[in-house]
Amino acid sequence: MSSDSLSEGLKAFIIESDELINSSEMTLMALEDESNNQELIGELFRSVHTIKGSAGIFGFNHVVDFTHIVESVMGRARDNITELDDAAISILLDSVDHIKQLVDAAIHDQDITAECNAIGSDLILKLKQYLDEDICSDVNSDNETEIDHQLESIASDSGKAYYNEYWHISIRFDKNVLQNGMDPISFINYLTKIGDIVNIVTIKSQMPKLSEMNPEECYLGFEIDFKSDNDQSEIEDVFEFVRDDCFLGIVPPRSDANRLIQLFEQLPETIEEAISLFLQCHTITAEQANDIMAFDNKDIGKAEDDPLAIENEIGDEIFNDKKIDSSKADNAKKSLSVQKDQIIRIDSSKLSHLIDLVGELVVNNANIESQARSHKDKMMIESVEKISQLVNEIRTVSLGLRMVQIGDTFNRFKRPVRDLCKNLNKKVNLQLIGADTELDKRVVEMIHDPLMHMIRNAIDHGIEAPEQRVALGKPESASLILKAHHESGSIVIEISDDGAGLNSEKIIQKAISKGLVAEANDMSESEINYLIFHPGFSTAETLSSVSGRGVGMDVVKKNIENLRGQVEVASKPGKGCKFTITLPLTLAIIDGFQVNVGGSIYIIPVGMIDECIELNDQIKDKNSQSNFVNLRGEVLPFVRLGDIFDDGREGNVTNKRDNIVVVHCGDQRAGFVVDDLLGEQQAVIKPLGKVFKNLKYFSGATILGGGQIAMILDVPQLLSYVKKAS
């Protein structure tokens, strides 16, 4: 769809359909364990129904036609006519995949391919076994059955006079509906997908003179008699995307005068004008109109507990000086307020722009703070400190807007794990721990593929077949655990299994044959395991559709390092394997600690610092060439940053007192020897350009308050250097 006028509505459809498709997939996965859970079945029915309704609004007929059949299957399951066994759930999962394909093709205005059509036809045949023949005979046919269930419930109340024969819909579109990307006619057209429009009257009373007309504004309303066996909520769903830009009133068939007058009083027209419109629409007869006019309009139509009726009464008070109970008004407003959506959707690009602006604010605030201190003006310093506190709060709140729970990413792996297990004839129990752990949305998006690679490899290479596990005395179903938790300003993600673990001998043999190492005599277990991250490295004896081509683990390592993180692997033969990924919480702004090395300033992330100590004779090793200190009985390796960065000094000679910054990442600890400790500084991370992409030991740069550039140290890389050097 290329129309600019529908761009905003289409964006909303894209977001909502993606959420509903993912939700449908998760619900089906849950139904595998609880096939008779009516709450889950109802949730799935509503998701599919909403996708169908939203697609119909935009004229995506391929989506509507296919989801109509899926919805019918779910309707029968909801009514306990059809049982959702494993075969049915597998077909429905494939159907959800097909709906996603159809939606993608629709929103990109692409034709449905022959392959996609063939898949759809095959799925329809499979779904047909769960339906009556007439449901699949014509997916576009409207259900013409009468609304007997409604008439039966109404017929029991014989003391009332009934008026309208069909559903009656009154809709008045706001003037700005077109500017908000909605086409009113599309909603009217979609009504024909769930029933028949018996009569329709176009209301032009708000139409201005031609000279005063704005082509970007809408002046129309409609009165519609509508024949359908759907309930009111399903009719309301047709107008879901435009509910904030219209008045919508729906009256069930065979309603009494009281119910009709409730609607009349909410319309912008007078009751006499509303009755005239109902007569034009043939909703009521002239005799019925006279009966309605005979009712006392002041006493009818305002249910005691109806918040909408009370709200109208509150509005009337302004114009007619009517007095109403203030407590009732307050309760009505409260009742209305809780019905309103509390979530606002924001384009991620707007959030990124906000974070960039906050970053500039942080830099400029640091500059002002530096100048205030250089002038030694106490009042100015005090004012700047207050502003700094506000800037820090703004930074925290702004970064929090982009923080999301990792649970959504974890849940996406349930379906691939299920499909892989069926493909490889393995049984795996996927456990998710710490799904409520929050981190930056950009980090979440970039970590999905590395996690997927590791999960696939764990199932294909690490986890044994059920019969093998039983022979080894293990449970038939393997455990695959995804765990996330915060640790000192970072997020740690663990992927562990109780499979066969890594085969060190095979890894060494493969590494020697590929020329990666000469001998393995002096290699530790962790160093041997880390060889799997080399490009093209694989110990798989046969190729499969899942893995074995040596593609994946090197990509994992590269993507994690691009996020300024690190990955570690630990394995016990026959017991299992665990990958540990350590990542920064955010890629935008960090709390940093400034240090001076040879006249240059460097930034160390505060979350990775344990403490700062003086490098004195009491903790030094007697061997002057040693790079270890005794830190309260613990042997701590250290490295002089001046040696790494070649600050121009000869050897380790210095007239200054050396300080050690003790840092950690994961289980590793080490000390960085620096000249001066300069204190904390909020650092806006600026990525290094392509020219510096091969520069080691730096994860980015930042601008200090005085305008100088300071490099941000890559602590994981430096810890690896210390480990090798020691």
Give per-residue pLDDT as tens, 34-48. 888 888 888 888 888
CATH of the domain at 84: 1.20.120.160
Please compute the mean of the pLDDT values over residues 399-424 and round it to a whole number.
87
pLDDT in tens, 49-78: 888 877 877 778 888 889 888 988 888 888
Residue 548 has pLDDT above 80, yes or no: no
- Rounded distance between C-alpha atoms, residue 693 and residue 325, angstroms: 70
Statement to judge: residues 526 and 391 lie in one domain:
no
The single-letter code of the amino acid at 471 is A
Helices (H), 250-377: 257-266, 271-280, 286-293, 307-320, 326-337, 348-375
> Helix (H, G, I), strand (E, B), or coil: what is residue 581?
strand
From 54-68, 248-262, 312-326, 636-650, the region with the lowest mean pLDDT: 312-326
Range(s) of the domain holding residue 667: 589-725
What is the predicted pLDDT for the residue at 327? 46
What is the predicted pLDDT for the residue at 213? 84
Contact 579, 496 (CB under 8 A): yes
Q: How confident is the model at residue 392 (pLDDT cuts 50, 70, 90)?
A: confident
CATH of the domain at 198: 3.30.70
Cα dihedral sign for 495, 500, 504, 506? negative
Residue 306 has pLDDT above 50, yes or no: no
What is the predicted pLDDT for the residue at 540? 58
Statement to judge: residues 571 and 457 lie in one domain:
yes
Report yes or no on 334 lying in a domain. Answer: no
Enumerate the β-bridge partners of residue 495.
482, 579
Statement to judge: residues 435 and 576 lie in one domain:
yes
Look at the chain and report how many structural domains it folds into.
5
Enumerate the β-bridge partners of residue 368.
none
> Helix (H, G, I), strand (E, B), or coil: what is residue 45?
helix
Statement to judge: residues 546 and 614 lie in one domain:
no
What is the predicted pLDDT for the residue at 542? 53
Contact 277, 203 (CB under 8 A): yes
For residue 681, the tally of other CB atoms under 10 A from its CB is: 20
CATH of the domain at 418: 3.30.565.10
- Rounded distance between C-alpha atoms, residue 60 and residue 298, angstroms: 46
Say what the pTM is: 0.62
The single-letter code of the amino acid at 196 is D
Contact 611, 629 (CB under 8 A): no
From 135-149, 460-474, 512-526, 691-705, the region with the lowest mean pLDDT: 135-149
CATH of the domain at 614: 2.30.30.40
Q: How confident is the model at residue 94 (pLDDT cuts 50, 70, 90)?
A: very high
What is the predicted pLDDT for the residue at 652? 47
Residue 444 has pLDDT above 60, yes or no: yes
- Beta-carbon contacts of 201 under 8 Å, excluding residues fewer than 6 positions away, are 222, 223, 224, 277, 280, 281
Report yes or no on 266 lying in a domain. Answer: yes
What is the DSSP code (8-state) at residue 686? B
Q: What percent of the chain has pLDDT over 70?
A: 81
Q: How confident is the model at residue 539 (pLDDT cuts 50, 70, 90)?
A: low
Report yes or no on 616 lying in a domain. Answer: yes
Contact 182, 220 (CB under 8 A): no
Statement to judge: residues 448 and 573 lie in one domain:
yes
Q: How confident is the model at residue 721 (pLDDT cuts 50, 70, 90)?
A: confident
pLDDT in tens, 226-254: 988 888 888 888 888 888 888 899 988 88
What is the predicted pLDDT for the residue at 590? 81
What is the predicted pLDDT for the residue at 468? 92
Statement to judge: residues 507 and 396 lie in one domain:
no
The DSSP string of 594-642 is EEEETTEEEEEEGGGEEEEEE--TTTB-SSTT--EEEETTEEEEEEEHH
The DSSP string of 58-81 is TT-HHHHHHHHHHHHHHHHHHTTS
CA distances from 718 to 150, 346, 646, 721 (A): 73, 38, 15, 5
Helices (H), 129-256: 133-137, 148-155, 184-191, 232-238
For residue 35, the tally of other CB atoms under 10 A from its CB is: 16
- Rounded distance between C-alpha atoms, residue 539 and residue 508, angstroms: 10
What is the predicted pLDDT for the residue at 432? 92
What is the predicted pLDDT for the residue at 342? 53
Statement to judge: residues 395 and 411 lie in one domain:
no
Which of 340, 367, 401 is where one domain is finished? 401
Name the strand (E) or helix (H) holding 717. helix 715-725
From 415-424, 612-621, 663-672, the region with the lowest mean pLDDT: 612-621
For residue 150, the tally of other CB atoms under 10 A from its CB is: 16
Mean pLDDT across the chain? 78
Residue 331 has pLDDT above 60, yes or no: no
User: Nearest CA to 203 among 244, 243, 232, 169?
Assistant: 169
Please compute the mean of the pLDDT values over residues 533-557 and round it to a whole number.
63
Statement to judge: residues 530 and 562 lie in one domain:
yes
The terminus-to-terminus CA distance of the chain in angstroms comes to 62
What is the predicted pLDDT for the residue at 520? 61
Q: What percent of the chain has pLDDT over 90?
A: 13
- Rounded distance between C-alpha atoms, residue 146 and residue 140, angstroms: 18
The burial class, CB within 10 Å (0-12 / 13-18 / 19+), for 96 is buried
Statement to judge: residues 392 and 495 lie in one domain:
no
The DSSP string of 408-455 is HHHHTTHHHHHHHHHHHT--EEEEEE-TT-EEEHHHHHHHHHHHHHHH
Please compute the mean of the pLDDT values over residues 94-120 and round it to a whole number.
89
What is the predicted pLDDT for the residue at 335? 40
pLDDT in tens, 336-360: 343 444 566 677 778 888 888 888 8
Which of 584, 610, 631 is where one domain is finished? 584
Report yes or no on 563 lying in a domain. Answer: yes
What is the predicted pLDDT for the residue at 314? 35
Statement to judge: residues 560 and 438 lie in one domain:
yes
- Rounded distance between C-alpha atoms, residue 482 and residue 406, angstroms: 11
Report yes or no on 339 lying in a domain. Answer: no
Please compute the mean of the pLDDT values over residues 595-614 and round it to a whole number.
89
Which of 266, 301, 336 is where one domain is finished? 301
What is the predicted pLDDT for the residue at 150? 34
Residue 307 has pLDDT above 80, yes or no: no
Report yes or no on 188 lying in a domain. Answer: yes
Q: How confident is the model at residue 621 (pLDDT cuts 50, 70, 90)?
A: low
Residue 324 has pLDDT above 90, yes or no: no
Find the radius of gyration of the CA atoms of the chain.
34
CA distances from 154 to 43, 62, 145, 235, 490 (A): 29, 38, 17, 19, 62
Report yes or no on 9 lying in a domain. Answer: yes
Report yes or no on 267 lying in a domain. Answer: yes
Statement to judge: residues 539 and 595 lie in one domain:
no
Contact 468, 500 (CB under 8 A): no
Q: How confident is the model at residue 368 (pLDDT cuts 50, 70, 90)?
A: confident
- Rounded distance between C-alpha atoms, residue 106 and residue 8, angstroms: 16
Statement to judge: residues 417 and 488 lie in one domain:
yes
Token pair for residue 94?
Answer: 């494939």
The DSSP string of 116-182 is HHHHHHHHHHHHHTTS-HHHHH-TTPPP----HHHHHHHHT-TTS----SSEEEEEEE-GGGTTTT-
Place of tokens 């082509």: 215
Phi, psi (deg, nearest 5) at residue 251: -115, 125
- Rounded distance between C-alpha atoms, residue 190 and residue 59, angstroms: 8
- Rounded distance between C-alpha atoms, residue 273 and residue 259, angstroms: 17
What is the DSSP code (8-state) at residue 489? T
